[in-house]
Structure 1
Amino acid sequence: MNEQRMHPYITIIIGVIAVSMSAIFVKLAAADSGITAFYRMFFSVVIMTPIFLWKYINEVKKLTKRDWSFSIIAGIFLAFHFILWFESLKYTSVASSTVLVTLQPLFAFAGTYFFFKEKLSIKTILSAMLAITGSIVISWGDFQVNEEALYGDMLALIACALVTAYLLFGQDVRRRLSLVTYTYVVYLVSTIVLLIYVLGMSESFGPYSLQTWCWFVLLAIVPNLLGHTMFNYSIKFVSTNAISMAILFEPVGAAILAYFIFMEYLTFTQVIGAVVVLIGIALFIIDEKKFIRFFFRK
């Protein structure tokens, strides 16, 4: 099915802006990591359900065993990505956590090479290595701050690996399913997994303040339904590699918001590391020439 109505790189840009607000909403919500992740996915499913039942439910019958398997696996990876990332924000800064959790090319390049046989140029590999070096600089600075910050960095890196796996499985399934059906199934699976996790950890479902409930809903609407859904749309038309590199812009927006909202000042190593990461992204974009082809195509 051909559903391309927006250029995938426009949707990626929208997605990056939307997910940049995720860490801010998480820190503002006064709740445990698991329960914050659960309500983020739960409200997303609630909002999507009327649209799914009205127009897309019949497509579920077309799902193959492979589609079901990959969608379920993607949902599980997404659930634990949120748990670990949200937990990392308790120990390290918004800037460090978002830089490390979006360091997906390290895992995406390996995944697309082994599973989709995508060829990687020398310049692409070098740009990824440069971005990785920037993340190491950030982590080293946090190590000098305290062990808690380093622990938060490690959680963010694991969360990064999980979200990359989620995108890789989605890259396969989205070639056959519509955006709404795939997203709904994955979000529903993720919600169920998070419910089981929250019950197992005995985390409280409430009561919470009105402000916290607002942050839960905003997490569902902005970074999830607008952000991640835009990535799920784009994954049908572009490689996981392109999305993973673009998401590395997220820490810039998150760090700016964190400065004004939480007064989180950037350390020297965070600034140097972030600059190195952005240079790596720039080299990747220049190598791929995708933005040039978009703006100057006939």
Structure 2
Amino acid sequence: MNKYSISYLAIIIGVISVSTAAVLVKLASEVPSAVTANYRLLFAAIILLPYILLKRRDELKKLAKREWILTIVAGISLAIHYIVWFESFQYTSVASSTVIVTLQPIFAFIGTYLFFHERFSAGTVISMLIAIFGGVIITWGDFQIAGEALYGDFLALLGALFITIYFLLGQGVRTKVSVMSYTFIAYSIGALAIIIYNISVSNPLTGYDSNEWLIFLCLAVVPTILGLNLLNWALKWVSTSVISMGILFEPIGASLLAYIILNELITWSQWLGGTIVIFGLLLFIASTRRKRKMKITIDHS
């Protein structure tokens, strides 16, 4: 098997890995969302710590004050993303939440337009409108089911916004520091921020059963460490557009797992809206491919 075949296999395993995040969070539904988010980031940072100390310690010492500030703010944004996205599963389905949070590339492109003056092409605008229309269908269908489902959709959309802030802040830092060092700092800062939040709202940090601790560990290992690293490794051999398109299948994988494990049915509006969103995002990636190399990371998953 050549390196390109191995790369595509890595992408498939990576997408399956990140698709498990939503179901794992749902399985820990008795745990406050902020606590689940806290241990996902904390355990991921602890797992990365030996590698950082052995291989990247000097790199961290060379970081300038500006890079530290940007990374700290990015870590706090990541923490907020996880809190609101995990909380969305208390109100809406895995299918709706994962599709809506996948709208992140559109937020990212709007951000680059506002801050880096990147121009929109006609194809980009049309593809964004298609994806947004799909999101409207999902939220309209959820509103017909229950008002609280619409609130869950709003939290997922808020999660997409904050993960975009995390990505935009990280753009400048990533040119000067490796992905492992950057994510380690962001995870550590994010975990610290959520610990402070949990203490302030009196969420218990202990007293959970062994199954819940196993879920926390699985969240750190499978979608975070394994999924992220496989997709980043594949970037050595395939284009960022291929990775981006692969990640768009995360909502499909998450919805199938939710159906198999949680018996969570998918409504017609989620099927239709989700299909339109993914189609719109595929067009969006294709339309921006020639303008710039667009890297969609998967830290939200």
TM class by shorter-chain length?
0.7 to 0.9
Calculate percent identity across the aligned residue pairs.
48
For the 8 Å contact 1:23–1:98, the answer to whether it is kept is: yes
| TM-score for both structures, normalised by structure 2 | 0.86
Return 281-290 or 253-262, whichever deviates more.
281-290
Q: Mapping of 1:1-298 within 5 angstroms?
A: 15-29=14-28, 30-229=30-229, 247-288=247-288
For the 8 Å contact 1:248–1:277, the answer to whether it is kept is: no
Q: Which runs of 4+ in 1 moved over 6 A?
A: 231-245
For the 8 Å contact 1:183–1:232, the answer to whether it is kept is: no
Give SS of 1:21's match.
helix
Amino acid across the alignment from 1:51: Y
Distance in 1 between residues matched to 2:148 and 2:184, nearest whole Å: 36
Give SS of 2:136's match.
helix
For the 8 Å contact 1:131–1:277, the answer to whether it is kept is: yes
Amino acid across the alignment from 1:260: I
* CA deviation after TM superposition for structure 1 residue 274, in Å: 1.0
For the 8 Å contact 1:109–1:241, the answer to whether it is kept is: no
Amino acid across the alignment from 1:185: I
Amino acid across the alignment from 1:281: L
* CA deviation after TM superposition for structure 1 residue 94, in Å: 0.6
Paired position in structure 2 for 1:296:
none
Counting matched residue pairs gives: 286
5+ long unaligned stretches in structure 2: 291-301
Distance in 2 between residues matched to 1:26 and 1:59, nearest whole Å: 34
For the 8 Å contact 1:101–1:157, the answer to whether it is kept is: yes
| TM-score for both structures, normalised by structure 1 | 0.86
Return 81-90 or 118-127, whichever deviates more.
118-127
For the 8 Å contact 2:4–2:238, the answer to whether it is kept is: no
Amino acid across the alignment from 2:269: T
Q: Deviations over 1:197-251 (max 9, x none)?
A: 1111111112222111111001001111133456677899999999776543321
Note closer, same or farther for the CA distance 1:106–1:276 as it changes in structure 2 (3 Å cut): same
Distance in 2 between residues matched to 1:52 and 1:286, nearest whole Å: 36
5+ long unaligned stretches in structure 1: 291-298
Distance in 2 between residues matched to 1:87 and 1:289, nearest whole Å: 33
For the 8 Å contact 1:105–1:241, the answer to whether it is kept is: no
Note closer, same or farther for the CA distance 1:12–1:37 as it changes in structure 2 (3 Å cut): same
* CA deviation after TM superposition for structure 1 residue 16, in Å: 3.5
Distance in 2 between residues matched to 1:202 and 1:88, nearest whole Å: 20
CA root-mean-square deviation: 2.9
For the 8 Å contact 2:76–2:189, the answer to whether it is kept is: yes
Amino acid across the alignment from 1:25: L
